[in-house]
């Protein structure tokens, strides 16, 4: 039996069937001939309920959710080839750091509060640029290994602190690499801009132990990739 629904629809319909939908081959289509049947549920009163996913032409919902689920499964299968610590280092930490720079770059043109010569100061930046929090240098968000980095206030790479967004900020390669992170200036910036409570929370977190499972890491990776893409699109649109 085929039921045609004359509009793309998402939701539930119920129907009375003599038997199960599987043995009767009941399928729901939209008026473009696309299957929008999802899972059938027996209500127990002779009626069956079917969840409709809107079909492919209804841009989103069911079809996109299915695509996202397949993408996640592929990443998860791939993640099983790596130790979790290797997976973090190779796949999750790099995209997290890139996202931090991209989101800082995507902020509208304006000023950034930074440390210049040991004192709190304000520098101008355009959209697409980041300001180094420990010296005030302004560079494009994706200016490469010699340009803008993602600096860590607490340098520890322990899992408990690795993806703490409060612990990271744009920092130029000069400060981050050659200046070994310029801990004194970074601390002053953290206290002045993010506050003592944040600094204390990070210092407590640093000593805690934290394990990641592959599912969590894949979900973090997917979330960071989406935020990175959104930030890049925001910069493109400006």
Q: Between 29 and 121, name the residue whose CB sits nearer to Zn ion.
A: 121
The footprint of Zn ion on this chain (CB under 5 A) covers a number of residues equal to 5
Given 172, 217, 228, 231, the residue binding Zn ion (CB under 5 A): 172
Q: Between 146 and 158, name the residue whose CB sits nearer to Zn ion.
A: 146
| Region from 8-16, 20-28, 49-57, 133-141 binding Zn ion, contact rule CB under 5 A | 133-141
135 binds Zn ion (CB under 5 A): yes
Hey, what are 126's tokens?
A: 């355009």
| Region from 14-22, 65-73, 170-178, 216-224 binding Zn ion, contact rule CB under 5 A | 170-178
Instruction: Name which of 214, 195, 220, 211 is nearest 94 in CA terms.
Output: 220
Decide the pairing of beta strands 2-5 and 27-30: parallel
Alpha carbon distance 90, 178 (integer Å): 23
Q: Between 139 and 221, name the residue whose CB sits nearer to Zn ion.
A: 139
**Beta-carbon count within 10 A of 118 CB:** 12
175 binds Zn ion (CB under 5 A): yes
Hey, what are 206's tokens?
A: 């640093």
Q: Cβ 74 to Zn ion, closest distance in Å?
A: 39
Contact residues for 19 (Cβ-Cβ < 8 A; gap 6+): none
137 binds Zn ion (CB under 5 A): yes
Alpha carbon distance 80, 93 (integer Å): 17
228 binds Zn ion (CB under 5 A): no
Q: What is the DSSP letter of 189?
A: H
Write out the residues near Zn ion by the rule CB under 5 A.
132, 135, 137, 172, 175
């Amino acid at each position: 039996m085929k039921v045609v629904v004359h509009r793309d629809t998402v939701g539930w319909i119920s129907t009375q069937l003599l038997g199960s939908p599987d043995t009767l081959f009941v399928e729901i289509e939209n008026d473009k001939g696309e299957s929008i049947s999802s899972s059938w549920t027996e209500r127990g009163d002779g009626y069956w309920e079917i969840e409709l996913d809107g079909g492919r032409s209804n841009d989103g919902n069911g079809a996109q959710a299915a695509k996202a689920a397949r993408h996640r499964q592929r990443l998860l299968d791939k993640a099983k080839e790596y130790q979790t610590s290797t997976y973090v280092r190779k796949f999750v930490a790099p995209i997290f750091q890139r996202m931090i720079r991209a989101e800082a770059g995507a902020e509208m043109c304006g000023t950034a509060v930074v440390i210049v010569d040991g004192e709190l100061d304000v520098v101008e930046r355009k959209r697409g640029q980041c300001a180094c929090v420990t010296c005030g240098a302004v560079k494009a968000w994706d200016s490469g290994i010699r340009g803008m980095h993602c600096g860590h206030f607490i340098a520890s790479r322990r899992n408990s602190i690795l993806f703490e967004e409060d612990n990271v900020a744009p920092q130029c390669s000069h400060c981050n690499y050659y200046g070994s992170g310029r801990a004194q200036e970074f601390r002053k910036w953290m206290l002045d801009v993010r506050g003592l409570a944040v600094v204390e929370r990070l210092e407590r977190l640093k000593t805690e132990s934290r394990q990641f499972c592959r599912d969590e890491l894949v979900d973090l990776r997917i979330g960071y990739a989406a935020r990175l893409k959104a930030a890049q699109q925001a910069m493109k649109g400006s």
